[in-house]
Structures are given as C-alpha cells and as structure tokens.
Amino acid sequence: MKTIMYLAMTLNGKIADGKGSIGFFSDNEWNLFQKEMRKWGNIMMGRRAFEVSLKAEVFPYHGLNIVMTKEKIKNRWGESVIFFGGSPAEALRLLDDRGFEIAYIGGGGMLNYSFLKEGLIDEIMVDVEPTVIGVGVGLLAEEEIRSKLKLIDVKKISEDEVRLRYSVIR
C-alpha cells in the first residue's frame, strides 16, 4: 500500500487561513479533490480538519473516513467513519487490512507532521492555489522536522494552478 499526503495550499504553504477556513480552494480544486477521493476510497484526517469539514457540511467524504483523535466522539455516520486513537502506523494497518492500494493522508498540519515524522509518507502531492496568506495553518505543524524529497511531476491543472508531486526520500 502506498501512502500519499495530498493537500491544496497557498503559494506560501498555508493549508487554511487564520480562522481555519479553506475558502481559497477554487471550484477546480474541489473537483480534483473529489476525483482523487473517489479513486482512492479513503481519507485520513486530524480532529480539527474533521471539525472544519463538519461545519462546512462536506463531511463525511466519499469512502472510508478515518479521523485521528484521542477524544471520544460519537459516531453518527456508521461504518464509513472511524474515530481512531491509535498510532499512525496502526491507522495505516487498518487501511492495509481492508485492501486499499492507496492510503490518503488528507491533513491538517498536525496529522501530516505525525505521519511524516514516523517515516510513513511515500509521496507528497500539493495543488498550489494562486493565493498567499500571512496568518494561517501550515502544511506541516511547526515542529522540528526535515525530509528530503525528489520531484516526480509538475503539472499545470488550470490557468493559475499547478500540481507538484514529490516522493519522500527515506
């Protein structure tokens, strides 16, 4: 199983503004995100990303939604949603056991950091939105971490947006 971290970010690496909003997503980006979701059939997210998605009335996404949290949250969505308090490696095992070929790590920054830190990310794919935001949430939580990457592909996905794909060198 391959693990892909996929997010949309501003040119300066923010995945949400200071209020946690992802209002900078273009319609094109929403469509591309949903296309990947349908293909991959799963998404892993942090508790805060879950809360933002819930508030925006876009939760749950297509397929299996795993929300990483140590909190006890009542599941009112049934089998398509799992609130999981185990480790990142255990969360991936859960997907592997179900036969998924891709594990989709969908943010936010804390979740991304916790998987990257454990050496569990194979590929990072980012769609760069034509925006810069001063205060906001970074692609990775502000923790001590450095990973070397190798460029796989650069693709123009609209007039103003590019998709960058990097593999993580281990």
Ligand X SMILES: NC(=O)c1ccc[n+]([C@@H]2O[C@H](COP(=O)([O-])OP(=O)(O)OC[C@H]3O[C@@H](n4cnc5c(N)ncnc54)[C@H](OP(=O)(O)O)[C@@H]3O)[C@@H](O)[C@H]2O)c1
C-alpha to C-alpha distance for 79 and 53, rounded to whole angstroms: 18
C-alpha to C-alpha distance for 141 and 108, rounded to whole angstroms: 8
Does 74 bind ligand X (CB under 6 A)? Our answer is no
Does 37 bind ligand X (CB under 6 A)? Our answer is no
Question: Scanning residues 75 to 114, which ones bind ligand X (CB under 6 A)?
Answer: 88, 106-111, 114
Sign of CA dihedral 129, 135, 141, 143: positive
Does 147 bind ligand X (CB under 6 A)? Our answer is no
Residue 78 is classified by DSSP as G
Question: Scanning residues 40 to 69, which ones bind ligand X (CB under 6 A)?
Answer: 45-49, 52, 68-69
Burial 128-137 (b: 16+ CB within 10 A, else e): bbebebeebb
Q: Residue with CB nearest ligand X?
A: 108
CB of 169 to ligand X, least distance (A): 22
Which residues of this chain interact with ligand X, rule CB under 6 A? 7-9, 15-16, 20, 22, 45-49, 52, 68-71, 88, 106-111, 114, 137, 141
